[in-house]
Amino acid sequence: MLIYGLGRSGRGVARFLAREGRAGPGQGVHWLDARPSGEDLALMAELGLQQGNAAHAYETVIAAPGVPIDHPDLVALRARGAEVIGEVALAARSRPELPMVGVTGTAGKGSTTVLIAHLLRACGLGAQEGGNIDPPLLDVVDSAEVAAVELSSFQLERVPGLRLPVAVITNLGVDHLDRHRTVKAYHAAKRNITAGQLADDVLVLPQGLSLPTRAQVRRFSAARIALQSGAEVLPVGELPEGIHPANAAAAVLAAEALLEHLGRPVSAHTLAEGLRRAAPMPGRFETVARLGGVRFVEDSIATRTIAVQAALERAAAPIAWLVGGRDKGAELEPLRQAAQGRVTRVIAFGEDGEALARALGLPYDVVPGASGDESMDNAVQAGLQALDGAGTVLLAPIGTSFDQFRDYRSRGESFRRAARALCAAGPPEPAGPGVKA
């Protein structure tokens, strides 16, 4: 075997194979990474794994999702007879007895995955989440009774033969065209979640989305949280703050389907109580601070049009909308429409903030910042000053975080810190300098 690409996923593969006794000195498992980190190198040395060579022949290549499926090395390795798979396929083959619910979609897949695991635990199952979210799936396969697995389009390019008893597609929008090149190819990768399903399996889809599948289709909408029978589980208005109704509706259907697959009873009351105790994932439309009538809402992961639009529709108006980072080519017209009558001002920060704000055609301020934290401090303060004592300062940035932050999580942490510090200081002073348009 060759572990191609380390990082979070590749390290999880290496640890799993070592625990299995399939990796170590003389076991024939190699690794290859163009830019291994110090953590990567330390783990490979600890496990006794040797660096490989893409010019050699391997039976199996376990490619990290960050490696394009058409990377020249992977093409060459396939030409020499290697099967290219990913972490999820390895987990499914190594633990075929582990029931898994797979979740994908352009937006909401992480939150829905965590919510499914939470509901299954509420129903008495030892459920754990993993995959595209922390931890890697292979880190939990030996401790989980059932697994809820977030699956990105990159992961779904490398899951040959995967059969899921329950699969969920939250929605299909536009994303990752830098990798997939076309919307058609991106959607085809997402549809791989149901490619191996058979008539006894269940595919949970939103109302209005149709695609080829052999599985039983169960549909959800944000309007009603109900079982497949139509019995209501919980009124939408009773959901905890930060739990999106569509995610809750999809999670209930998925949990119900897996319970049925396992021959376990389904209790609407138990599922309702589970929903009432649910908490949003950090960084997913979470209220992190309040000052009088102003809420500070972090949705740092909102870089896809569909996710940003959802945030704009859910936030209490008037909204001071923090926009910035590095432009990834998101479609802006739906956001311009969602912002009408709700966004009082756009606060632009980071590398492409001003360009994004200008393209949106809304009133905006540009805040300076030599560092990510300085930019966020200024953006949060400007957002509060743009509101008249009530409304929402919303971080739904459109751009990626890589201009000034390590990742979306560190950008979200910076927003939390800035918002809480500002609230601790009290009401704002009069507006300071900034570029206005």
List the binding residues: 105-111
Integer-rounded Cα Rg, in Å, for the chain is 23
Binding residues for ATP: 105-111
What gap in Å lies between CA 217 and CA 199, rounded to an integer? 10
Buried b (16+ CB within 10 A) or exposed e, 261-277: beeeebbbebbbebbee
Read off φ and ψ for residue 436, nearest 5 degrees: -110, 150
CA distance 239 to 395: 22
Q: Write down the H helix ranges in 202-304.
A: 245-261, 268-276
Contact between 31 and 44 (Cβ < 8 Å): yes
